[in-house]
Amino acid sequence: MSQFRKDVFTGRWVIVAETEVVRTENFHFRKFTRETTFCPFCETHEASTPPEIFAVRPGGSLANGPGWKVRVVPNSQLRLRVEGELRRRPEGFHDLMNGVGADEIVAETPRHDRSLHELEVNEIADVIRTYVARILDLEQDKRIRYVLIFKNHGEEAGAHTITHSISELMALPVTPRLIKAKLMAARDYFALKERCIYCDVLHQELGEQRRLIAENDDFACLAPFASGYPFEAWIIPKAHCSAFSRINAVQIENLARILRDVLQRLEHTLGSPPYNLSLQDRPFLRPREGYWKTIEEDFHWHLEILPQLIGLTGFERASWFFYNPVPPETAARCLSA
Ligand SMILES: [Zn+2]
Ligand SMILES: [Zn+2]
């Protein structure tokens, strides 16, 4: 019989199908084709983007020229602007503020023909170091409360216009709703048990191994108990830490290693699946009245990888229930094999 499973991290319910055997061929995606028309994110095309905000340039090459490993530029289709005041204000019953924030594109490689999982460990580590540098920089801006870093890989995951391997960064004046749901669930658990819910779940999953996909000294990758998406995978640091930007040099290497490993396992098992990757981090600490003090103890940052193998239907959109045809135990078995 299928099961209703409650996600302890968000409170969301998922209907998980009962099936021991999953034919991964049913989910196989063709390798996605990269447009070969002019791409502004390729090396030597630097003049086609707005001036760079940050770049990894090991040889000391000049800004806005070739010779980079990772390059960050403002999104030319700006949804948010760095200039101006927030001006929070009411409009009748409603709340309104100006579209202040930052909207950046991280070109993960100078080469057009490579995806994130095809990069070397040290190249992925450069991408992670870039995320850290951008977060630390944006933390200085007191108007910003949250930096959301995410990636759309493949057209079904939302990469419609840009085929170069990129991640996106949005610096927001408010904490996104899903993160807030996670923060509140973690806070409630901590208030009850004085322990981090992520540490507790990790402890149990590492013991049971049924939903463990991969691990190394610093990170574990799990198929969450109430996965909303088939083959959903979370990468969680083994040592408790609420803020991604506090990651150390050794952890960066190990994160690059496990991320590459898990993306390659997905590729190996499912062909070339479209996926969304996102960093689930805590907001910047901007203490104000009523703000809880235990956030550093109760929240635990992690990466979410959500393969987009089946579209959302009216059921998901209308109810915020999810239906997952692949039990996470089966997904973990396929991916860890
Ligand atoms: Zn390109
Ligand atoms: Zn923890």
* Domains of the chain with bracketed CATH: 3-336 (3.30.428.10)
CA of 273 to the centre of ligand 1 (A): 20
Distance CA 83, CA 81 (A): 6
- In angstroms, rounded to a whole number, what is the distance separating the alpha carbons of residues 316 and 99? 29
CA of 300 to the centre of ligand 2 (A): 5
Q: From ligand 1's centre to the CA of 112, what distance in Å?
A: 4
| Nearest ligand, CA 44 | 1
Q: Which amino acid is at 300?
A: H
CA of 247 to the centre of ligand 2 (A): 14
pLDDT 10s per residue in the chain (337 long)?
899 999 999 999 999 998 877 787 777 776 667 767 889 999 999 999 999 999 999 999 999 999 999 999 999 877 788 778 888 888 888 888 888 889 999 999 999 999 999 999 999 999 999 999 999 999 999 999 999 999 999 888 888 788 899 999 999 999 999 999 999 999 999 999 999 999 999 999 999 999 999 999 999 999 999 999 999 999 999 999 999 999 999 999 999 999 999 999 999 999 889 999 999 999 998 877 666 788 999 999 999 999 999 888 888 888 888 999 999 999 999 999 8
C-alpha to C-alpha distance for 52 and 67, rounded to whole angstroms: 13
> HSE-up of 133 (CA within 13 Å, CB side)?
15
Q: Which ligand is nearest to the CA of 48?
A: 1
Q: Give the pTM.
A: 0.94
Q: Which ligand is nearest to the CA of 107?
A: 1
Taking the centre of ligand 1 as the mean of its atom positions, its distance from the CA of residue 264, in whole angstroms, is 21
Alpha carbon of 75 to ligand 1 centroid (Å): 15
Rounded distance from Cα 147 to ligand 1 centre (Å): 25
Q: Is 62 buried (19+), middle (13-18) or exposed (0-12) by CB count in 10 A? A: exposed
The ligand placed nearest to the CA atom of residue 9 is: 2
Residue 321 Cα to ligand 1 midpoint, Å, equals 37
Distance between CA atoms of residues 181 and 160, nearest Å = 29
CA gap 287, 206 in Å, rounded: 35
